[in-house]
Amino acid sequence: MATPASFAATGPLRGTITVPGDKSISHRALMLSALAVGESVIDGLLEGEDVLATAAAMRAMGATIEKRGDSWHVRGVGVGGLLQPQSALDMGNSGTSTRLLMGLVTSHPITATFTGDASLSGRPMGRVIDPLSTMGADITASPGGRLPLMVRGLCPAIPIEYRLPVASAQVKSAVLLAGLNTPGITRIIEPVATRDHSERMLAGFGAELTVETDSAGVRTISIRGEAELRPQNIIVPGDPSSAAFATVAALLVPGSAVTIANVGMNPTRAGLYNVLRDMGADIAFGQQRVVGGEPVADLIVTHSALSGIEPDPAIAATMIDEYPVLFVAAALAKGRTVIRGIEEMRVKESDRIAVMAKALTDCGARVEELPDGLIVDGTGGDFLAGGATVTTHLDHRIAMSMTVAGLVSRAAVTIDDMSPVATSYPGFAASLRELGVS
């Protein structure tokens, strides 16, 4: 059921919050733990709907997953040991669960059917169907290469060398995970670096994985299959994609001073924070440390006057989920922001270029949609008119980005449905309250 909510101009945001565990790392922690021999313990797991969909799927394929106290305990089946699920795997809203699990099923002697909600059922799966079919999976998809679809795995599967045609960590990870139970070496050539959590975690679990980077920055990732994974203790850092909302809200609302503790700062994820600093944002990185193989920091954010920017399209992969909230920052910056090279945004949980362009325009921002991006002429810090109702299209990041827009609007902005927020940031409303948003 849709849960609408309204947000309007607020006093300064102040205080310290933590954000839930990183979604990408949480999915991978569950999947690799479920393939290790023995018990892994995960702390800081995101308990959002997307990650719980992965947990349910891994249980359906034989893993034991339970929460004891604050930790998640996972007893794996061993690489090659996944069992035939007895019913369709419901992936909900989660593209990451779907694409990575399709990879796992590819090299196991099982058949799995994947279903999802209306948003997920509209998203393209051809990008994973192509390489996984080459590895031997027999995949029957709905028209347009969409869900519902069925994957019949092949064991042993065929190792491939695959050059990624789109910059996608999900496609890279699907092939790597298929390669885990495939004899020989599976190799991926990645012309544009995407988030590297799979590589880091596979190596941490003991898989034989190498990464070579040539002088042009092209990465070649090789994994030796029929790996044996050793159980691990994993600490999941806070999600930089979730921290982005309080960060931008604090930058835009005068008088704000916010600390977001324990945020993952993997360089393949931290692009937004660099762009905001280039726009003039006062963001300090406190307590920089490495936790569980991932760089982590406390973000100390103070209200700042921002200036428009033309971010280099080459950094798109490092902030691909953060563009909606960057658009909001640009709407209050001084001068013009030109964002190009982000056509991938059109195949996320919604068409994030079109949906944000409409939502911001309806709130009085000056925005021009481009085929591959957006031009935003900012107010120089003045609040937006607001007063609009935003259609979120089952997209959590639209809901949260436009909540931030509401906090800098004179008339309340109504979000038609906040329920998708539970996929990635179940405590979002509580975080805002902690920072004084009433």
> Smallest gap, in angstroms, from Cβ of residue 229 to ligand S3P?
19
CB of 143 to ligand S3P, least distance (A): 21
* Residues annotated as part of the active site: 321
CB atoms within 10 A of CB 53: 24
- The helix (run of H) or strand (run of E) holding residue 402 is helix 396-407
Please, which residue, 232 or 242, has the CB nearer to ligand S3P? 242
Pairing of strands 138-142, 89-90: unpaired
Q: How far is the CB of 269 from ligand S3P (least distance, A)?
A: 10
> Residue 196: which of 175, 221, 227 has the closest Cα?
221
Strand segments, DSSP code E, in 127-197 are 138-142, 146-152, 161-163, 185-190
Given the structure tokens 């308990």, which residue do they identify? 47
Question: Is the Cα torsion angle 270, 273, 279, 283 positive or negative in sign?
Answer: negative
Closer by beta carbon to ligand S3P, 119 or else 409: 119
What are the percentages of helix, strand and coil residues in the chain, rounded to 5? Answer: 35, 30, 40
Query: Closest CB to ligand S3P among 187 and 397?
Result: 397
Residue placing its CB nearer to ligand S3P in the complex, 54 or 259: 54
Neighbours of 286 (CB within 10 A): 11
Binding site residues, ligand S3P, CB under 6 A = 24, 96, 168-170, 173, 195, 320-321, 344
- Quick one: which of 52, 55, 53, 18 has its CA closest to 40? 55
Distance CA 168, CA 126 (A): 13
**Angle at CA 25, nearest 5°, toward 233 and 354?**
170
Residue 179 CA to residue 49 CA, distance in Å, equals 27
Min. distance of Cβ 22 from ligand S3P in angstroms?
9
Which residue number, 24 or 186, has a Cβ lying nearer to ligand S3P? 24
Structure tokens given for 186: 């599976």
Nearest distance from residue 317's CB to ligand S3P, in Å?
7
